[in-house]
Amino acid sequence: MYDVMDDIQKWVGAGENVILATVINTWGSSPRGVGAKMAFTPDGKITGSVSGGCIESAVFETGLDVHKSGRPRLLHFGVSDETAMEVGLACGGQIDVFVQKLDPSLFELMRENLMTGSASALLTVLQPEDSLGEQALFSEEALLASDHRKVWGKEAQALSRQAILSGEPSRTSVTVQATESQDEEIEGFIDPILPPPTLILVG
């Protein structure tokens, strides 16, 4: 997130809508790793990359649909897919990309954390379909914000803390409390939002 944050902040500050695309899974050889991001506005301002040029055009077009509908989309590209050949993905791998409208208030909270040197983890719901795109932001110790309709438990907090400490994003299953007496397993993507490393020179 850090590498696209300055441009996003500028666009949000100007009152523009921002669409965010994130690589949430890869198989085989892929040009960008899990967690790679591309942010853009409906009028064509772009920062970051999800594939080094292979699928950006298709992701942008999907982003325009997401902007109009307000509904996030989960995209899959692979070299055996007709869609992949059309967009030029010939790097030998497969990529899942999640495309969503950026929540300005959640972005501002992440940015404020980073500016104070604090890390966080953003958990985005991928399944079930009726909860697609709902999100929660965790620090190492607590839930900071959530638009998810169910109750996050200790497992979500533990997985988020693990992501922060490892610095590795992951697609995983998480148990949440659906009702007072019933738990539900969801699929989510946990993305650590980390401040830049500090270089210390000795001697």
Residue-wise pLDDT tens digits, 167-199? 999 999 998 876 666 788 899 999 999 987 776
Q: 3-class SS at 33?
A: coil
Residue 89 confidence (pLDDT) above 60: no
Same domain, 9 and 90: yes
pTM: 0.87
Same domain, 77 and 119: no
Quote the domain boundaries for residue 47.
2-101
Confirm if 67 and 44 have CB atoms less than 8 A apart. Answer: no
> Which of 72, 101, 130 finishes a domain?
101
Same domain, 8 and 65: yes
Same domain, 133 and 92: no
Residue 37 confidence (pLDDT) above 80: yes
Would you call the peptide bond into 128 cis, given omega within 30 degrees of 0 as the criterion?
A: yes
Sheet holding 183-193, edge to edge: 143-146, 135-138, 120-127, 183-193, 170-177, 151-152
Residue 64 confidence (pLDDT) above 80: yes
Burial 129-145, CB ≥16 within 10 A → b, else e: eebbbbbbbbbeeebbe
Same domain, 76 and 112: no
Work out the mean pLDDT of the chain and round it to a whole number. 87
Say if 198 falls within a structural domain. no
Same domain, 19 and 59: yes
Say if 200 falls within a structural domain. no
Q: 3-class SS at 199?
A: coil
Would you call the peptide bond into 192 cis, given omega within 30 degrees of 0 as the criterion?
A: no
| Interstrand relation of 93-101 and 73-78 (parallel, antiparallel or unpaired) | antiparallel
What confidence tens digit (pLDDT) does each residue in 143-174 have? 999 987 777 888 999 999 999 999 999 999 99
Same domain, 96 and 136: no
CA-nearest of 122, 186, 104, 127 to 151 is 186
Same domain, 71 and 111: no
Same domain, 77 and 111: no
Say if 16 falls within a structural domain. yes
Same domain, 86 and 157: no
What is the count of structural domains for the chain? 2
